[in-house]
Amino acid sequence: MVFRKMLIKIIFLLCTILFISGCGLQNQKDNIVIENKHKKITVLTKNEEVVTNDLALKKINRYEGIRGTDWLDENTILIEQKNTSLPKSAMTDNGQPTYHINLYAYDVRSNKSKALVSEERDQVGAVISPDKKHIFFKVTEDGNTGTGYIMNHDGSNKVKVSEPDTIFAIPTEGRWIDNSHLIYSTLFQQTYSTDLNGHVNKIDSNSDIINIIRKMYGDQKVEWVIPSPNQKKFAIVRKITPTKRELFITDANGRKTVSLAKGTQIFGSGWSPNSKTLAFSVISEDKGERGLFVIDVKTREITQLSTDLDEIAGPITWSPSGKKLLVSTVIEKKNKNEFVAYVLTLKSKN
């Protein structure tokens, strides 16, 4: 039992990085010129505390105190936020009372948020269905394990879909296979499918394509397997040495087609809605190979969007139009860790 609790905490910490790397909090406009191994020159400009590529980004918006998880529509994001309308009935690690984290719909134009379901329990690890109509999320007491639920995008019709505290309370647990069915795994390495009404069935883990691909590349070495929306490609992060990871793409059968990046850590990979572009973040000592990137999978053209947004606290998600990216990270503010969400609007290619 002690070993399992330690394992849960280790996995949770790997999925939620608690420090943003040194970009400072200076409000200046210093330019950084990077010459990468392909001999292309990129000029990155310091906007607030984040160094960004002005040639690729139309704008970047910053939202403190929230953790963005996904897009409900082109102007509304799903976020995790402290519910200050409820009593401070949760406890911090040092025993101090605090507010519970609930899921909110956040309008990026008005900067206003609305709780989907207010309750004195933490709601985390949300995954939105492809048609944006339903949300799979976890209710957790300790932040490590949780109980799975599905609800409508407006917070109505909440349905329990797992046994209590049997799944990891992280956003990478749970995968929609269509608009009305999803698959999730338990702490006991069992795999289940469920529909919107909570009809749960145990399935053979060996029949799941994700598990098949994991075994192809060494189950213990594979950290992420992320299917494209059209299910024809997979992005995989694999540990190749104790201190280095590789991000590569496979075809629908799991055959490796291209290696994209290598780094100390690789986080938050996310496919565009049309399955043509992949966003990912890399931690590396080399500024030219560190930060947030997007790649055109067909042409293999890689664009570095930022050198600082490398330690991503959660998934990287695309807006329905494929024109915006949502990423979240953590900063230290007044000796406390605080989530910050960024919406990056990409420039259209001519």
What type of residue sits at position 101? I
Determine the Cα–Cα distance for residues 309 and 242; give it in Å rounded to an integer.
23
pLDDT at 38 over 70: no
pTM (2 decimals)?
0.82
What is the per-residue pLDDT across 171-190, written as a single tens digit (0 to 9) for each?
889 999 999 999 999 999 89
- At the topology level, CATH places domain 2-64+208-346 in Lipocalin (2.40.128)
pLDDT of residue 19: 30
User: Is there a contact between 8 and 145 (Cβ–Cβ < 8 Å)?
Assistant: yes
Radius of gyration of the chain (CA): 20
Q: Spell out the domain ranges in the chain.
A: 2-64+208-346
Rounded CA separation 84/249 (Å): 42
| Tokens of residue 104, six digits | 């909110």
Taking residues 154-173, what's their average pLDDT? 94
Our CA dihedral for 302, 303, 306, 312, rounded to 10 degrees, sits at: -40
3-state SS string for the chain: CHHHHHHHHHHHHHHCCCCCCCCCCCCCCCEEEEECCCCCEEEEEEECCEEEECCCEEEEEEEECCEEEEEEECCEEEEEEECCCCCCCEECCCCCEECCEEEEEEECCCCEEEECCCCCCEEEEEEECCCCCEEEEEEECCCCEEEEEEEECCCCCCEECCCCCCEECCCCCCEECCCCEEEEECCCCCEEEEECCCCEEEECHHHCHHHHHHHHCCCCCEEEEEECCCCCEEEEEEEEECCEEEEEEEECCCCEEEEEEEECEEEEEEECCCCCEEEEEEECCCHHHCEEEEEECCCCEEEEEECCCCCCCCCCEECCCCCEEEEEEEEEECCEEEEEEEEEEECCCC
- pLDDT of res. 161: 97
Closest to 235 measured CA to CA, from 215, 261, 205: 261
User: Is-contact 315 171, C-beta < 8 A?
Assistant: yes
Give Cα 181 to chain centroid, integer Å.
20
Q: Residue 52 — very low, low, confident or very high, per pLDDT cuts 50/70/90?
A: low
| pLDDT, tens digit, 9 for 90 and up, residues 265-307 | 887 789 999 999 999 988 776 655 678 889 998 888 888 888 7
What residues contact 111, with CB distance under 8 A and at least 6 apart? Answer: 63
Predicted local distance difference test score (pLDDT) of residue 45:
46
pLDDT band with cut points at 50, 70 and 90 for residue 50: low
Q: What percent of the chain has pLDDT over 70?
A: 82
